Amino acid sequence: MKNQSRRVFLQKISTAALAMPFVPAYGNENYSKSPDISDGPVLRVAIMGLGSYANRVARSMQSCKKAKITGIISGTPSKIKDWQSKYDIPEKNCYNYENFDEIKNNPDIDAVYIITPNALHSPYGVRVAKAGKHVISEKPMGINAKDGQAMIDACKQAGVHLLVGYRMHFEPKTLEVIRMRKAGEFGKVLFFQGQSGFIIGDPNQWRLNKALAGGGAMMDIGIYSINGARYMIGEEPIWVTAQETKNDHKKFKEGVDETIQFQLGFPGGAVASCLSTYSMNNLDRFFLNGDKGFAEMQPSTGYGPIMGRTHKGELTFPHVTHQTIQMEEMSEIILQGKQPEVPVDGEEGLKDLKIIDAIYLAVKTGKKVNI
């Protein structure tokens, strides 16, 4: 896309540039700035796309000791000025979408966190990689598996890390359920149910624009149930079936899904039954069933606190701000080679995109699709 057309493109979406799927928050987050002390090297991060979720990430990073905001990239000058004063960012570390390739010459920036509409994740991730900086992409990391593979290839060629914003992979109660499953405390896993949905508002926002979002609810909230099925069961699905329901054709135009129910089959025999929707609230629940026990999480992916119980009782780990611990952990992954309990790399993101591609194909054909 040429510079002029890209500028027009971004101006059209700037009023709704909220890159992260909206998930209802349960409880209040406490954003307190921690002392400027680190137990190790500090990851210097530029935030790309200064919408609602970027603001949440930035507030959360004020409590980080191993990650710090040192740059910003935005197509809106007023946002740049606001962020400069709020987070003490020098002018030389501020960029727009036309000139951000110049970060290659900026030693103050180690990584760029891309928090833009879905369709921009991959092309901008490729540009960041070519500039020699590590890439952190919000999920999904593209609008299809081809997009995801392009970003993986670019990061490999440039020798930089590619991470995806899977904040739940660091959440304590989620990790405890995964630990219990690995320890065999649920026995043979038989079934997973994932319910992910909310009633979406403004019909003109980018999430309801296929060109920017890549789809509808599945590309936003549905990915939580896909990813959750994988880390709760501990296997990769081998087939999918799916059915779409659309009642509001004016709001949900061609290619923008309102509600999809989908089923996943796993090699060990477990099955998953999931719901992704933009037309129902109170849907944020995971349930895992094995022949020796169960785990239920509700809310399962909201900003917090996550609530969970198993056949052994309530999960009582204290709530942590998801984005704070995510950025602390990502700093250690990039700078110190730490291996997370659940992967957050590009290959992890690509697996979800391949499943999404298969779900859309199953909806279109009405047939079981092998993955």
* CATH number, position 176: 3.30.360.10
Nearest to 215 by CA among 177, 271, 253: 253
- Are both 348 and 211 inside the same structural domain? yes
- Are both 78 and 151 inside the same structural domain? yes
- Are both 181 and 297 inside the same structural domain? yes
pLDDT (0 to 100) of residue 195: 98
- Which of 133, 139, 351, 354 is labelled catalytic? 139
Nearest to 64 by CA among 347, 329, 333, 317: 329
Dig out the tokens for 30 from the structure.
């406490």
- The residue among 132, 165, 198 that closes a domain is 165
Regions of the chain where pLDDT drops below 50 = 1-28, 30-35
Rounded Cα distance between 344 and 237, Å, is 18
- Are both 218 and 73 inside the same structural domain? no
> How many structural domains are present in the chain?
2
- Are both 91 and 218 inside the same structural domain? no
Q: Count of residues for the chain? A: 371
Rounded Cα distance between 132 and 105, Å, is 9
pLDDT (0 to 100) of residue 35: 41
Q: Where in the sequence is the domain holding 107, given as residue range(s)?
A: 3-165
Whether 126 is covered by a domain: the verdict is: yes
Whether 334 is covered by a domain: the verdict is: no
pLDDT (0 to 100) of residue 366: 98
Q: Alpha helices of the chain — where are they, by DSSP H?
A: 3-13, 52-61, 77-87, 118-130, 145-158, 172-182, 210-213, 222-233, 322-336, 346-365
- Are both 188 and 294 inside the same structural domain? yes
Clarify whether 139 is annotated catalytic. yes
Clarify whether 224 is annotated catalytic. yes
Nearest to 99 by CA among 71, 119, 58, 139: 71
pLDDT (0 to 100) of residue 304: 85
- Which of 224, 231, 303, 360 is labelled catalytic? 224
- The residue among 165, 183, 217 that closes a domain is 165
- Are both 151 and 203 inside the same structural domain? no
Whether 128 is covered by a domain: the verdict is: yes
- Are both 225 and 250 inside the same structural domain? yes
- Are both 182 and 114 inside the same structural domain? no
- Are both 199 and 215 inside the same structural domain? yes
Rounded Cα distance between 181 and 317, Å, is 17
- The residue among 117, 137, 165 that closes a domain is 165
Whether 63 is covered by a domain: the verdict is: yes
